[in-house]
Amino acid sequence: MIDINKFIRKNIRKLTPYQSARRIKGDGDIWLNANELPFMQKKTFFFKNLNRYPDKEYKLLLKTYSKYIKVNYKNILATRGSDEAVELLIKAFCEPKKDCIMIFPPTYDMYKVYANILNVKIISLTQLKNFQIDIIKLKTSIENVKLIYICNPNNPTGNLINSEDIIEILNFTKNKCLVVIDEAYIEFCLHKTSINLISKFEHLIILRTLSKAFGLASIRCGFIVAHVKIINVIKKIIAPYPLSTPTLDIARSFFSYDSLQILQKNILELNKNKKKLIQELKKLSYVKKIFPSSANFILVSFNSSKKVFSKLLKNKIVTRDQNFKILLKNCIRISVGTYKECTSLINIFKAIEIK
Ligand SMILES: *Cc1c(COP(=O)(O)O)cnc(C)c1O
């Protein structure tokens, strides 16, 4: 029997595999725990050219996405989900054990996960009570910080970061560090994008994904949008042919005129369902607070999130308990589902008795 610990890097030894929403045990009929789009795609796909490495397909996707976001394709890279982008940025810019990333909990877990894997230090500045960034603290804490990760709208709280704060942070950090804005949910509030700031701030990096509003979580496709100087650094470390031909071709097909119409329709429908869900939840006596959301999920606080989570799970509805996170005691994150799923959820909420 080998002692595998003898061979593992020291900082990897103490890590545990990330508990993604899908890995958490429990059986369900209604999945509201991973913020996916609840609608299945109607297209079918066939591929014959799988014997060749995907080269021109990669460039074609960049050009298609470039038209969609109205940014030159030379400012864009496609990655294996935006999670890979989070990793590549830390890998490229942070010296292990020396440099830091800065994050603002409660926020998306993967920034921390990749920093830990790559043995890069983390400066965690807890958000203010209104879920905004503590800029005063930020200004006194950025020594050794190479990357700042801002999630906008933020997961799991659902709120937007003040636009003035983003500008202030960008102005302050010029020549000090790079600023990453993760816009995984931006399609649900597209007028709040910071993508137009790319031309103004050379140290700004925007992350996008097709996993949420586009409903393509399974194909694993994300984007980095930044100044060419930053793109060229990432090119040094990204794998050759990073995305498969099926991923690239499927992704590209979702930017056709018809598909973009469907995207708009889906966003409108989800925003409508969200409104209905909030309206109904407000009537329940055991709901303490529903936080404002600009994304396709809502954060709700209860007297006991544990009780509510397990009652929902008994009724085959899977949500995500956030109780263990800073500022989120007794909060549950609920993804907005189809109209039918929202109705089932509301009916179960009305039926369960919670003191
Ligand atoms: C879901 C999510 C992602 C998406 O990750 P992919 O790897 O693109 O599927 C990125 N950032 C945040 C904040 C998310 O919630």
Report pLDDT digits (tens) over 35-93.
999 999 999 999 998 999 999 999 999 999 999 999 999 999 999 999 999 999 999 99
State the distance from the centre of ligand 1 to the C-alpha of 112, rounded, in angstroms: 13
Strand-pair category, 145-151 with 100-103? parallel
State the distance from the centre of ligand 1 to the C-alpha of 59, rounded, in angstroms: 22
State the distance from the centre of ligand 1 to the C-alpha of 139, rounded, in angstroms: 27
Question: Residue 217 CA: which ligand 1 atom is closest?
Answer: 9
pTM above 0.85, yes or no: yes
Backbone angles phi, psi at 40, to 5 degrees: -85, 150
Tell me how far apart the alpha carbons of residues 101 and 111 are, in angstroms, rounded to a whole number.
8
Tell me how far apart the alpha carbons of residues 355 and 56 are, in angstroms, rounded to a whole number.
60
Q: Taking the CA atoms of 28, 34, 39 and 40 in sequence, report the sign of the dihedral they define.
A: negative
- The whole-number average pLDDT for the span 202-218 is 98
Does the beta carbon of 107 sit less than 6 angstroms from any atom of ligand 1?
no
SS3 at position 82: helix
Burial 215-241 (b: 16+ CB within 10 A, else e): bbbebbbbbbbbbeebbebbeeebeee
State the distance from the centre of ligand 1 to the C-alpha of 29, rounded, in angstroms: 23
Does the beta carbon of 222 sit less than 6 angstroms from any atom of ligand 1?
yes
Question: Residue 221 CA: which ligand 1 atom is closest?
Answer: 8
Give residue 246's pLDDT band: very low, low, confident or very high (50, 70, 90): very high
Reply yes or no on whether the pLDDT at 22 is more than 70: no
Tell me how far apart the alpha carbons of residues 106 and 124 are, in angstroms, rounded to a whole number.
9
Cis check for the bond before 106: say yes or no (omega within 30 of 0).
Answer: yes
State the CB neighbour count (10 A cutoff) for residue 141: 15
Give residue 19's pLDDT band: very low, low, confident or very high (50, 70, 90): confident
Tell me how far apart the alpha carbons of residues 316 and 100 are, in angstroms, rounded to a whole number.
41
First to last CA, the chain: 53
Does the beta carbon of 215 sit less than 6 angstroms from any atom of ligand 1?
no
